[in-house]
Chains A and B, each alone.
Chain A
Amino acid sequence: MQNIKLTGAFALFSGALLVSWVTHGTGVVRDDPERNISIPDTLTVPLQVQASYNDQDIFFRYRWPSASMGIFHDILRYEDGSWITEGGGMPGPNPFGVHEDRVAMMLDDGSVPEFGRYGGYITIGDGLAGLTDEAPEEVTKYLPMTRNTLGQWDDMAPDSELAQLRSAGYFLDLWHWRGARSNPVNEADDQNVGAGRDGDAGEASYTTNWDSDISQPRVMFDIASAGYRALNWDDVQAGRVSQEQTYALIADAAVPYDPDAGWQNGDLLPRRVIRPGASSRGDIRAEGRWADGYWDVTLARALDTGNPVDDKILQDLGTYDVAFAIHRNATGGRWHYVSLPFSLGLAREADIMATRFIGTMPQWSDTWSDVTLFYPGQVTWPSLNSAVHGGASSIADRVPVRARHSPEQLAYYGVEHEFRTEIRRQWLMTLLAGILLIGAFGVALNATIVSRKGA
């Protein structure tokens, strides 16, 4: 009888441990749109990068997997006499699969030394749009010194100081290729991150195809050149629209909207009109093709754009810092995959070495620099410098992130940070439950062994 009790107690104890092992880490992490939370199924994505330059220009080539071709952003869908907007940004993927794919690269020349150590993390201040604790107004990426106090998104440094920082090079160049809003005119959006994520001087490659005064689109496809006035909603959702056909409303190819064109339910017009960017904002040329589940995008820009307060000027034999990000699967905002910072050398040893070539276009080889992109969650720069981060002192000691963390590790931490309150509660209860279980097992063991001794 005592053997049965002893065996039973041990079986219960080890069974509880087994159940604990099998079920751990479940029951907490789930999508919660009310809190701007949507966790991607895949936490890391591979990105391949090449770089090459000649006397005038530098070229970057990016390749990454994407199951679908995100060449549409927000769109207008005709239904029962009115145009309905679809494809807007939201937590996680757009349910209709409509939101453009993107690749972005932040670039610095050493003027923002924290960027070389911590990459894009330094641009994630408190209050950013898309965070659970987003500010009441739209706040975009910004650099720490553009605020008087770390963690205070609305405590801006004085204008004179911001101007001084900018002229001292305290900003990040941002090359931002957009599958819908820039690629159709073979450009990337030339932006920068300083006091905010802003476009360079000039005009963007996109405007809005909506006349709010008369509540109708401004332009439509030219049936003479495109073969249709509009695309079809079902075709777009099913991915039956290719890059080989006219899918974007290019400003000089579109025609004024005709409200009497016999619109049918399901007719679709892009909500953006695309045109070449003007001035400094149009510095970056692009060519992006999707095939066989991969994007292959090449960006090119003058080494010296002549816009030193918008762009980082590059030089032969120079070294720089870069970090990458992509959007795919119809996601926008912070639902992207990002990289750690990498060094870039122009014919110099670096993580990514740009090779020098002669001619107008590089002859790309099969040698790529492999980058692991990861989902970053809601980890902000203020939180990394606070007591919730065990490595805050390492940041103060200027230890680079790559010395401590891998992309995979950071992805896990990013997810956990989004549920930090709930996970901490469950963890504490787990710790206590384990101690109580061990204690109770001790009581059972003590009693059953006592009985044997007494027998």
Chain B
Amino acid sequence: MAAYHVVLIHFPIALWMVSSLCIFIRAFDDGVLGQAMDRALPVFLVLGVIMGAIAYLVGLSVWPWETLSSTPLGRNHMLMASWSLAYFTLLAFIRYRHGPAIWQGLSRWIMFLLAGIGVVLVGITGTLGGHLVGNYTEVSELLRRFGWEVYTTYYLPDLTLAIIGVVTLVLLAIGLLGRNRSTTG
């Protein structure tokens, strides 16, 4: 299945990268080009999520779970792929749910920053996938200089997991409070 995964993964990578490009352009351009980018954006995002999910599932069958979960590069690839898929699902949902309203005020720049994070996530995922099949790039050297040796598993200590748990709860609270106010308003 490895060959199929390699073929399939090009689709979400391309779609997500183009989606991010659309967001970058739209964030700076309210004109015809920006409007055109925004109209295409939900299509690219949704297709990217669908193709990403398919490629992800095929990727899970490349190695047995025992192998995937025991190999540092395999673990890292799966972790980043999972986060990338979840992340672009979030972007797709937000754009689909709120339409052009996301370009109003501050949220436009939030979208800009989120697209940047998405590009980094997908870039790292692709880099790790390349390492797994023996195609190395200098991106791993860049990550190394920023503090992550890609040949070591990306995992967090319990304290950081607890901090993320608290942040998750606070974010949920912000969401629920915001929803209530919106509903009551």
Residue-wise, chain B 66-107 has the 8 Å CB interface mask toward A (1 for contact) of 111111111100110011001100100110011001101111
Task: Report the nearest A residue to B65, measured CB to CB.
Answer: A387
Q: Determine the chain A residues whose CB is within 8 A of the CB of B33 once the complex forms.
A: none
The answer to whether residues A3 and B159 also contact, given A427-B154, A434-B79, A435-B86 and a CB cut-off of 8 A, is no
Q: Determine the chain B residues whose CB is within 8 A of the CB of A388 once the complex forms.
A: 66-67, 70-71
Interchain residue pairs with CB less than 8 A apart (15): A9-B174, A16-B163, A21-B148, A22-B147, A388-B70, A390-B132, A427-B69, A427-B154, A446-B94, A449-B101, A451-B178, A452-B104, A452-B105, A452-B107, A454-B185
Q: Determine the chain A residues whose CB is within 8 A of the CB of B101 once the complex forms.
A: 449, 452-453
Contact for A390 among B71, B154, B169, B172, CB less than 8 A = B71
Q: Determine the chain A residues whose CB is within 8 A of the CB of B83 once the complex forms.
A: 431, 434-435, 438
Residue-wise, chain A 383-410 has the 8 Å CB interface mask toward B (1 for contact) of 0000111101000000000001000110
Size class of the contact patch on chain A? 35 or more
A439 at the interface (CB under 8 A from B): yes
CB distance from B154 to the nearest CB of A (A): 5
Enumerate B42-83 residues with CB–CB distance to A below 8 Å. Answer: 63-64, 66-75, 78-79, 82-83
B171 at the interface (CB under 8 A from A): yes
User: Which of B94, B105, B154 has the most chain A CB atoms closer than 10 A to its own CB?
Assistant: B154
Q: Determine the chain B residues whose CB is within 8 A of the CB of A5 once the complex forms.
A: 174, 177-178
Enumerate B99-128 residues with CB–CB distance to A below 8 Å. Answer: 101-102, 104-107, 110, 113, 117
Contact for A25 among B68, B110, B152, B181, CB less than 8 A = B152
The answer to whether residues A12 and B170 also contact, given A426-B156, A429-B156, A449-B102 and a CB cut-off of 8 A, is yes
Contact for B105 among A3, A424, A439, A447, CB less than 8 A = A3
Chain A contact residues: helix, strand, loop or mixed? helix
CB distance from A444 to the nearest CB of B (A): 4
Q: Determine the chain A residues whose CB is within 8 A of the CB of B135 once the complex forms.
A: none
Contact for B165 among A6, A431, A433, A454, CB less than 8 A = A433
Binding site for B on A (CB under 8 A): 2-3, 5-10, 12-17, 19-28, 387-390, 392, 404, 408-409, 412-413, 415-416, 420, 423-424, 426-431, 433-455
Q: Determine the chain A residues whose CB is within 8 A of the CB of B63 once the complex forms.
A: 390
A446 B93 Cβ-Cβ under 8 A: yes
B156 A23 Cβ-Cβ under 8 A: yes
Contact for B90 among A21, A413, A439, CB less than 8 A = A439
The answer to whether residues A412 and B72 also contact, given A6-B107, A10-B110, A452-B104 and a CB cut-off of 8 A, is yes
How far is it, in angstroms, between the C-alpha of A440 and the C-alpha of B170 when the chains are bound?
8
How far is it, in angstroms, between the C-alpha of A450 and the C-alpha of B98 when the chains are bound?
7
A424 B66 Cβ-Cβ under 8 A: no
Q: Determine the chain A residues whose CB is within 8 A of the CB of B156 once the complex forms.
A: 20, 23-24, 27, 426, 429-430, 433
How far is it, in angstroms, between the C-alpha of A121 and the C-alpha of B161 when the chains are bound?
36
CB distance from B98 to the nearest CB of A (A): 5
Enumerate B161-185 residues with CB–CB distance to A below 8 Å. Answer: 161, 163-165, 167-172, 174-179, 181-182, 185
B31 at the interface (CB under 8 A from A): no
CB distance from B23 to the nearest CB of A (A): 14
CB distance from B101 to the nearest CB of A (A): 4
CB distance from A310 to the nearest CB of B (A): 39
CB distance from B146 to the nearest CB of A (A): 8
A390 B153 Cβ-Cβ under 8 A: no
Q: Determine the chain A residues whose CB is within 8 A of the CB of B78 once the complex forms.
A: 431
How far is it, in angstroms, between the C-alpha of A428 and the C-alpha of B113 when the chains are bound?
27
Q: Determine the chain A residues whose CB is within 8 A of the CB of B28 once the complex forms.
A: none
- Minimum-distance CB pairs A-B, first 5: A27-B157, A447-B178, A443-B175, A440-B171, A426-B155
Q: Determine the chain B residues whose CB is within 8 A of the CB of A448 once the complex forms.
A: 107, 174-175, 178
20 additional contacts (CB under 8 A) given A427-B154, A433-B164, A446-B93: A5-B174, A7-B106, A12-B170, A23-B160, A24-B156, A25-B149, A25-B153, A28-B157, A413-B72, A431-B78, A433-B161, A437-B167, A438-B90, A439-B90, A439-B168, A443-B174, A444-B174, A445-B110, A450-B97, A454-B185
